[in-house]
Structure 1
């Protein structure tokens, strides 16, 4: 459960959770009828509100799904704003592989036209890296952790 409190000021631009991408495979967000979840669908800087409709949930792609799909499904950049004067609650469910597993691109999604983008990785090592000082400083923690450089050849 997540609680985002009301703003002490009347500020319609208040960001309660800064923009980020989840590290999990997928995240499910169930909103409690209070607006606030926003996603960025492209690189033009536009944010789109996800309506908090009754009996619905939002499914967000995470970083590990980006690895499995070899970058074809990008992790969803999202943030939370609480512009209304109401507390915002949401239920969050993240999907992670079992400990000891390795996450790798599906072989069918790696080709000459779409070369391997991410080396196989331990998902829990990736989580530790993302929250490390180096990971937090990185512009793209996933690429810094297991990304394949353009001139690097790695077997899937």
Structure 2
């Protein structure tokens, strides 16, 4: 399956409706409200205090003066998606742990309904960026991607030191828990959609990793859920949208830092491009609430699990829990799995 972009392009502007496979049930009407999110300035004297406050109270914020060159990253991603389908298909796979993966939706062969996006995903380690099998096109992807990944690793480590102290821990405690961390980068392309009320760019979910950094163009479409309502996240030029992932909430911080439910809407006028970077622990790291944060007054809320196993569970929830990704957190609570759930979500 070449992807939704190839399908839309093949229609040459004549696509008048959403194909049945992409029709999502219960897509919400237009949302006019905008979320009020804090702006955390890395260059500010109050950076550390503001960062901890944003992680604790909001779970998502905009990051200013982060020092990362965003234009080249977005340009490379767009050039990849605009390349011929036969070139992109060299990287097509449904295996989520392959070093370089091009796919559409999440896993088309297993999904009843597809999300309106294509993506390019890569698993990266800091020490092996130079030998990573980067996409062959565009030619600058290796240099641009390597610099971007190095800067994200650097920024993420700095933030984790501050966030660790914000939990009352010694500064390197979260870094130790992340143990040989990995970076998952994911560029997402959302073509213009003839009927945005029938399709979703990405369904509501929380992120499976630790820290998420998102570059987005000015089109908009990212939404977060607060209470029972959805709110737009306003694109701000040059800023990174940062949010907590499940490994920080569900396990390490024992619920102190919040991973937030979000989704991506599409529109009929323009395509949208985003590049996400998901900083997480080693796939084989055993992640559980940090013992210093567990007490009789605050018992462990979630059970221990490797990040790899959590990713399998996360993937399985999308296909077997009526697309309610929030159930992943419930299923990893420290009380254990309901009968039969463990095998139900086992994937090789």
Task: Report TM bin, short chain.
Answer: 0.7 to 0.9
2:235 corresponding residue in structure 1: 52
3-state SS of 2:309 partner: helix
Runs (4+) of structure 1 moved beyond 6 Å?
none
**1:7 and 2:193 matched:** yes
1:80, CA displacement in angstroms? 0.6
**Counterpart selection for 1:90 from 261, 274, 296:** 274
Provide the residue aligned with 1:142 in structure 2.
Answer: 329
| 1:37-79 Cα shifts (integer Å, max 9, x gaps) | 11113x3x11121111110011111111111110122221000
Shift in alpha-carbon separation, 1:18–1:30, aligned structure 2, 3 A:
same
Using the size of structure 2 for normalisation, the TM-score is 0.39
**Structure-2 residue corresponding to 1:77:** 261
Count how many residue pairs are aligned between Structure 1 and Structure 2: 146
Deviation at 1:84, TM superposition (A): 5.3
- Secondary structure of the 1:131 match is helix
Distance 2:317 2:252 in 1: 25
Determine the C-alpha separation between the residues in 2 that align with 1:6 and 1:106. Answer: 44
1:80-122 deviations in whole A, cap 9, x for unaligned? 1123511000011011211321112122322222211012210
* Cα deviation code 1:2-39 (max 9, x no counterpart): 01111113x46853211111111121111111111111
Q: In the aligned structure 1, how far is the partner of 2:297 from the partner of 2:268?
A: 47
Unmatched tracts of structure 2, length 5 or more: 1-186, 337-348
CA distance in 1, matches of 2:272, 2:199: 13
Residue segments in structure 1 that go unaligned for 5+ positions in a row:
151-156
Tell whether the 8 Å contact from 1:37 to 1:81 is kept in structure 2 after alignment.
yes
| Deviation string, structure 1 residues 105-143 (Cα, Å, up to 9, x no partner) | 122322222211012210111101221269742751133
Which has a greater percent of helix? 2
Contact 2:317/2:328, CA 8 A, preserved across alignment: no
Question: Higher strand proportion, which one?
Answer: 1
Deviates more, 1:120-129 or 1:134-143: 134-143
Q: TM-score normalized by structure 1?
A: 0.82
Higher relative contact order (CA 8 A, sep 6+): 1
Conserved in 2, the CA contact under 8 Å of 1:61 and 1:73? yes
Which protein has the larger Cα radius of gyration, Structure 1 or Structure 2?
A: 2
Instruction: Please state whether the residue corresponding to 1:47 is helix, strand or coil.
Output: strand
